[in-house]
Structure 1
Amino acid sequence: MIIVTGGAGFIGSNIVKQLNRIGREDILIVDDLADGENYKNLRGLKFFDYKHKDDFLENIEGDDFDGTDVDAVFHEGACSDTMEYDVNYMMRTNYEYSKAVLHYCLEHRVPFFYASSASTYGLGENGFREEDECENALNPYAFSKLAFDRYVRQLLPDAKSQVVGLRYFNVYGPQEHHKGKMASIFYQLYNQINETGVAKLFDGYGEYGPGEQLRDFVYVKDVVKVNLWFWREKGPSGIFNCGTGKAHSYNEAAQAVIDAMGKGKIEYRAFPEVLKGKYQSYTQADETKLLAAGYDEGFYDMKDAVKEYCDFLTAGGYFVYGK
């Protein structure tokens, strides 16, 4: 059995789909379907059972799973809203819950793969290396992820089973509809162009001109590939960046969507006051540690990935059962 928390979410559902493609259907999906939208991500997946996240937490804290039949846990479940400022809620959901799943895996020696975030680097003024001097949390979400990474680091020297944290950069791709305002810029631009013919980007801010803010955009298929590589190859434990190592401007991102759709134009809007001082204007994964671990499967070209994603959205935007 394989356990995927957040299996009805964006990255989690993509992990489940790829597991299906390699012949695994003995999957327990853990999630919370209260928003009434993310259940749609499950319709195209094959899995043997589903549990609400609270019930699953009770199960592992009560040791209802003995761990002997669990091949791996992919822990993708979290509150990913960077505008959520209830720190206590964020810490219960992202930190305490993750600790419980981690300790279950360590006790039963189950490989544990979890979602961290490039938001742990703050503004990135000291670089994007997996090191203390590069890390800074500018919002409760980032703090919850950084706190868990630091907790993991304390336990790694004594861990008897694989523990891998992946710091996702700006992920985009299928099955992110339910994320709303937290969905990727590519999803937002696709819908904007369809509705208005215009791709709206932020005006200049700081040293960056209109639409020239830079991000390391990584296709969700690559994120899945990295996760499954560590599992399949029994890669080293640790915390690793999961990004392409290349930064693209929002202008480039918008143009890729326009080219993929064959329509649209770019316009700019005022940079929001609420984001000033808290916005990552530049991100670019340092891949040194990931490559040193042995990962050699590469990353999609952004234009190719965006074309594939836009075509997927046009075709309906959800995985199809059995395909």
Structure 2
Amino acid sequence: MIGNKTAVLITGGAGFIGTNLCEYFLSKGYFVICLDNFATGFRHNVTPFLNNENFRLIEGDIRNLETCKVAVTDVDYVLHQAALGSVPRSINDPITTNDVNVSGFLNMLSASKEAQVKRFVYAASSSTYGDSESLPKVEDVIGKPLSPYAITKYVNELYADIFNKTYGLETVGLRYFNVFGRKQDPNGAYAAVIPKFVMQLMKHESPIINGDGNFSRDFTYIDNVIQMNELAMLSENPEAINTVYNTAFGDRTTLNDMVTSLKEYLSDFDSEISNIPIIHGPNRVGDIPHSLASIDKAKKLLNYNPKYSFQQGLKEAVKWYWDNLK
């Protein structure tokens, strides 16, 4: 508690998912601490919160244990989002990816254990399913990782499990499936596909799809992810904690269909976008062909009920990008 308010630490709070979580929990009356080193997050994401008396920004790196200890002081819950995302980034630089995603994660777990936080909810990843070909993806059936990034996220799950069994720290892992929505960065070498394609189409540039476009993903709108974080953080069901959950909508869309929908929704603002051709390039190393989550476990144990389908979320995201980035 800080003052008379429940305190939530959001690591990576200036990033895409972290910023949305900060905004949401501030609106719910929590005291929110944001820890970020701005390696991939943005100051402009947290600027609107700086004058809020219930918000505290700590500029620091999870690779520094002392910084982590300061950040968890008087904190009730940790929502750990800080990580170096992107499969290609991890292939290009596995050392830094491991330092942040494994060593940094271990620092946060250790600091949280010492501070006796009530629960540690962390961003896991659908990449953990690796080369498993079974669909839909069920939490207890995984394959071998296909990238350094996937290895780091799986190691996170192993460490979280050990910290629960050894030290009694309550943990919940959320395996995110291709999250998209407002505030997601469209720029940079490792930009996610939806915001990247939106920006290209708004500039009348042709997006390049890796492969023939028939790979499919369980694209998950940000508001569904916020719901899962809140449920995981507050659940009083003993069976619901110290485990991992798919965090998704539970449906899949091919890259070709995704681009078709993008062009359709953007054409409402600029009719010329409907005529922009799509280019196909080579498949990307480390990519899995298909991704589809079973969300039965989250529905059963957390009462998860995702409000936004892919199409509903995409309409919201497109409008946000048009209003904010055009």
TM-score scaled by length of structure 2: 0.84
Letter in 2 for 1:106: K
- Map of 1:321 onto structure 2: none
Q: Contact (CA 8 Å) 1:79, 1:90: kept in 2 or not?
A: yes
Of 243, 246, 252, 2:251 maps to 246
Matched residues in 2 for 1:87 and 1:140: separation?
6
Q: Contact (CA 8 Å) 2:62, 2:108: kept in 1 or not?
A: no
Q: Contact (CA 8 Å) 2:161, 2:242: kept in 1 or not?
A: no
Report whether the alignment pairs 1:70 with 2:75: yes
Matched residues in 2 for 1:301 and 1:265: separation?
26
Matched residues in 2 for 1:287 and 1:232: separation?
19
**Deviation, structure 1 residue 179:** 5.7
Q: Contact (CA 8 Å) 2:12, 2:36: kept in 1 or not?
A: yes
The residue correspondences of 1:1-323 to structure 2 (distance < 5 A) are: 1-24=7-30, 26-34=31-39, 38-45=42-49, 46=52, 48-54=55-61, 57-59=64-66, 63-64=69-70, 67=73, 69-84=74-89, 85=91, 86-110=93-117, 111-127=119-135, 128-131=137-140, 133-177=141-185, 180-196=188-204, 198-204=206-212, 211-234=213-236, 235-262=240-267, 263-265=273-275, 267-272=277-282, 275-276=284-285, 278-317=286-325
Matched residues in 1 for 2:99 and 2:29: separation?
35
Q: Contact (CA 8 Å) 1:156, 1:238: kept in 2 or not?
A: no
**Structure 1 ranges of 4+ moved more than 6 A:** none
**Deviation, structure 1 residue 3:** 0.9
Letter in 1 for 2:233: W
Q: Contact (CA 8 Å) 2:125, 2:174: kept in 1 or not?
A: yes
Matched residues in 1 for 2:167 and 2:139: separation?
19
Letter in 2 for 1:143: I
Cα deviations by residue, 1:124-145 (Å, 9 ceiling, x for unpaired): 31442222x5132111111111
The change in CA–CA distance for 1:222 and 1:183 in structure 2 (over 3 A counts) is farther
Letter in 2 for 1:261: L
- Map of 1:207 onto structure 2: none
Query: Unpaired segments of 5 or more residues in structure 2?
Result: 1-6, 268-272
191-200 vs 137-146, which deviates more?
Answer: 191-200
**Deviation, structure 1 residue 230:** 1.5
Aligned residues: 305
**Deviation, structure 1 residue 43:** 2.1
264-273 vs 149-158, which deviates more?
Answer: 264-273
Query: Unpaired segments of 5 or more residues in structure 1?
Result: 205-210, 319-323
108-117 vs 257-266, which deviates more?
Answer: 257-266
Letter in 1 for 2:56: D
Letter in 2 for 1:160: G
**Deviation, structure 1 residue 175:** 1.3
**Deviation, structure 1 residue 228:** 0.8
Structure 1 vs Structure 2 CA RMSD:
2.5
Matched residues in 1 for 2:147 and 2:81: separation?
19
Q: Contact (CA 8 Å) 1:129, 1:286: kept in 2 or not?
A: yes
Matched residues in 2 for 1:148 and 1:233: separation?
21
173-182 vs 235-244, which deviates more?
Answer: 173-182
Secondary structure of 1:115's aligned partner: strand
Task: With a CA cutoff of 8 Å and minimum separation of 6, indicate the structure with the bigger relative contact order.
Answer: 1
**Deviation, structure 1 residue 173:** 0.7
Letter in 2 for 1:18: Y
**Deviation, structure 1 residue 197:** 5.8
